[in-house]
Amino acid sequence: MPTAGEQLLPAVLASFLAAYPRADLRLEVGSSERTWAMFSAHEADVMIGGRPPAHVTDSVIRATRPNLLVVAAAPPTAADFDLATTRWLQREAGSATRAHGETLLAGLDADPPRLTLGSTGAVIAGAVAGLGATLVPREAIRRQLDAGELTEIPVPGTPLRRPWRAVTHELVPAAASLLIRHLVTHGGWRSREDPEPRDRSALILSDHLMII
């Protein structure tokens, strides 16, 4: 997911590679729909995102991290916010955050004008520019909140609790196992279980490791 790739992972991956410089690491960022499809096709070892879809059967949640979705807008937009008329900024189709936003609006019987932007960064930039309000992970806008560029709007039903999940296949490469442990010890994640690598001889981290 873009927010995980852009906000959660860079610092922890830097410390992981410092500890294991021989790791062959690739980070793929995309919508939930796209990245879960890649994971299901075994094109990645670790998925960082929401709950695995029902059709992804070969998946095990290894660790979790709190994540709150909040409605935010630039202060002038927030001051005049009306759920029925304020433009709603949303991600592209296939985004889990967009789906959560649509569910929220439907539950509140609201149908505001919408503007689709193609990435989390674009949605946040649009909100800062005053284009409208959006549902976004609080962690993704912490800097903008601290700077006063965005403000949270107390919409009923928010914040939404949608924890991050670190997911692997049942058979775990050594590098993926070590990354999960690194998330828990250095990234603020809570372990669901300690995955055993399928090949202990690979602990030297010559493995290819792809995260989505």
- Report pLDDT digits (tens) over 99-127: 999 999 999 999 999 999 988 899 999 99
Please say whether the dihedral angle defined by the alpha carbons of residues 75, 79, 84 and 86, taken in this order, is positive or negative. negative
The whole model's pTM is what?
0.80
Give the mean pLDDT of 41-48.
90
The predicted pLDDT at position 11 comes to 86
Q: Is the pLDDT reported for residue 146 higher than 50?
A: yes
CA torsion 46→52→57→63, rounded to 10°? 50
Rounded to 5 degrees, what angle do the CA atoms 8, 67, 29 make? Answer: 40
Q: Is the pLDDT reported for residue 140 higher than 60?
A: yes
**Quick one: which of 95, 135, 129, 93 has its CA closest to 112?**
135
The predicted pLDDT at position 7 comes to 72
The DSSP symbol for 203 reads G
Half-sphere exposure of 50 (CA within 13 A, CB side): 20
Say if CB 9 and CB 211 are below 8 A apart.
yes
Q: Is the pLDDT reported for residue 207 higher than 70?
A: no
Q: Is the pLDDT reported for residue 204 higher than 80?
A: no
The predicted pLDDT at position 209 comes to 57
Pairing mode of beta strands 24-27, 208-211: parallel
Q: Is the pLDDT reported for residue 198 higher than 50?
A: no
Give the mean pLDDT of 147-153.
98
Q: Residues of CATH 3.40.190.10 domain(s) within the chain?
A: 2-66+164-211, 68-161
The predicted pLDDT at position 3 comes to 67
**62 or 210: which carries more pLDDT confidence?**
62
Q: CATH classification of 68-161, choosing from 3.20.20.100, 3.40.50.300, 1.10.10.10, 3.40.190.10? A: 3.40.190.10
How is domain 2-66+164-211 classified at the architecture level of CATH?
3-Layer(aba) Sandwich (3.40)
The predicted pLDDT at position 1 comes to 56
For 103-118, b where at least 16 C-beta lie within 10 A, e where not — what string?
ebbeeeeeeeeeeebe
The predicted pLDDT at position 203 comes to 35
> Widest CA span of the chain, in angstroms?
61
Place of tokens 């929401």: 50
